[in-house]
Amino acid sequence: MRVFRSVAGLAVAVASLAVSPAFAQAPIKIGVMFPLTGPIAAQGAPTRDAVKQAFEEEKMSIAGRKVELLFEDSAGRPDTGLTKVKAMVERDKVHILVSELVSSVGAAVGPYVAEQKVPWISTVSLASLTRAQKSPYIFRFVPSSFQYGLAAAQLGKKAGWKKVYFIGWNAPPSREASEAVKKTFGEENVVAAMFPNVGTPDYAPYLTKMDPTKADGLFVAMWGADAPRITRQYAEYGLSKKMPFFGMASFTSEELLGDMPPEAEGVTSAYTYCGTLDTPENKAFIEGYRSRYKALPGSYQYLGYMAAKMVIQALKDVKGRAEDKEAFIAALRKVQIKGPMGMTSFDDHQGMVGDFYQLKVAKGADGKLQNVCGERMPQVKDPYDMFP
């Protein structure tokens, strides 16, 4: 009997040795979801590509473990996005999620990932993700709408604006950004705040209400195809020569400038990425993206790329132990990286901290529109004290 037990014990020990290396070599699974179809696909696909670039720079391996990226398309729809995330978590057993641009999708996904305790690095600017929906498992590597709204408003005030107009999408990010403008200028100095629907074809009902004699400038919070449309119509109504406007966040992002009309020249904005910034890190990022995708990156790609870089560093810090969620989260909270635009980190609410740049659209030597980097706003934080 003693001999039998010894043999059995030896067999268990050998089996354990056989299993452990196999487990150590199991891939780190990362779910990557962005809108690849629908109205935001032009931004979603490049963001996904930039995430992929960051992991390819590591040769798809971290701490000796293979990295497997699982791609899904949210189509910009909350129901679709939530279904896809559930599949990645429950079917594919992903360790980490890096995803999304659309606020309504982010709002739908947030409660589920918190309940499932899956680390989620979001690129959704929805402010509630680090406020009402705050969770140890939710990180936001993108400025919140309050964050970029306040930065724009502060630069407008610094330029001498005293009374302003505001126009933005009838959606949470634009409405939150408008609150930052009101807080900065005082509600009495916002002549009018208007909120057309996403995809509005004709802004005449709004533009005709603007009187340039009553304000010093206009803040615009809309993106994608709506940005060039309102830029063109603003000029057609003769307003661009009478009242300057300031585009918020990615209004003039590099990858969208090709769709902008000539009237965009001179438009200012402020955000986290300036493609012409002359740093070694930015040159390497641009060359890496251009060599892969034959295009120049912009703010969407930058944020996706750096969100992935933050994940990579945290995984390195925990020696690739993606299964240890608590250790990974603790490491991610501490990550600080010098990227293409400067130092980046997370604040105490797990929201992004990074440098902003004032941007001005100008013609480059090739005649194409580009952003000229202006004033740097160092380490801009989400203003939780102003907007709890």
Alpha-carbon distance of 211 to 207, in angstroms, equals 9
- Per-residue pLDDT of 210-242, as tens digits, reads 999 999 999 999 998 899 999 999 999 999 999
186 and 128 inside one domain? no
* DSSP assignment of 14-25: HHHHHHHHHHHT
In this structure, are 106 and 219 located in the same domain? no
**Whole-number average pLDDT of the chain:** 93
180 assigned to some structural domain: yes
The CATH number of the domain where 337 resides is what? 3.40.50.2300
In this structure, are 236 and 376 located in the same domain?
A: yes
Residues 92 and 120 reside in one and the same domain:
yes
Question: Bigger pLDDT: 16 or 105?
Answer: 105
How much is the average pLDDT of 280-294? 97
Domain encompassing residue 64: 24-143+281-350
Residues in the chain: 388
Q: Which pLDDT band, with edges at 50, 70 and 90, does 24 fall under? A: low
Distance CA 66, CA 73 (A): 23
Q: What is the pLDDT of residues 180-195, one digit of tens each?
A: 999 999 999 999 999 9
Q: Is residue 19 part of a domain?
A: no
Whether residues 252 and 300 fall in one domain: no
Torsion sign over Cα 57, 63, 64, 66 = negative
CA 131 to chain centre: 17
3-state class of 375 per DSSP? Answer: strand
Q: Is residue 301 part of a domain?
A: yes
- Tell me: pLDDT of 15 over 80: no
The answer to whether residue 22 scores a pLDDT higher than 60 is no
Q: Is residue 387 part of a domain?
A: no
Give the pLDDT confidence of 129-175 residue by residue, as tens digits: 999 999 999 999 999 999 999 999 999 999 999 999 999 999 999 99
Query: Residue 96's pLDDT band (boundaries 50, 70, 90)?
Result: very high
pLDDT band at residue 40 using 50, 70 and 90 as cut-offs: confident
Residues 262, 318, single domain; the answer is no
Number of domains forming the structure of the chain: 2
**pLDDT at 13 > cutoff 70:** no
Quick: pLDDT tens for 290-326: 999 999 999 999 999 999 999 999 999 999 999 999 9
Give me the pLDDT at residue 1, please: 41
Is residue 100 included in any domain, yes or no?
Answer: yes
Q: DSSP letters along 100-121, please?
A: ---HHHHHHHHHHHHHHT--EE
